[in-house]
Structure 1
Amino acid sequence: MYIIKVKGVAKIPDYVQLRDEQFTLLAYFRVDRPEKHLEKAGLGDKQAYIMGLVKDLPFGRIIKLEL
């Protein structure tokens, strides 16, 4: 699984994308509101870990998540 942090502009907020090995979009959510989307993707129990990575992740950078 891969994670990408996308920078918002003006009134558009910052977003996070979670993608699988084939780069299919699994979840797309605002940085400040991840709860519902991570639960829907089945990653609610890993929310603290994922959001910890997102906090330090530079915009536009893709990293591989080892869950």
Structure 2
Amino acid sequence: MKNTLKVERAKHNMTQAELADKVNVSRQTINSIEIGKFVPSTFLALKMAFVFNTTVEQLFILEETDWK
């Protein structure tokens, strides 16, 4: 699954640590999500979308190869 977290953070001039604080996870968790090693829970994805005032679908892009 692809994501646009790094782009959204840059738009909002936010570090991984700042985003992590806002959604109550570690900076390492944010890093793992950004590089595709960790898929967040629905709740965490919704919290990140809320922080950036966007939708989960705009933050996370499901590719056909992800579910086949």
1 or 2, which has the higher strand percentage? 1
- Relative to total residues, which structure has the larger helix share, 1 or 2? 2
TM-score normalised to structure 2 length:
0.32
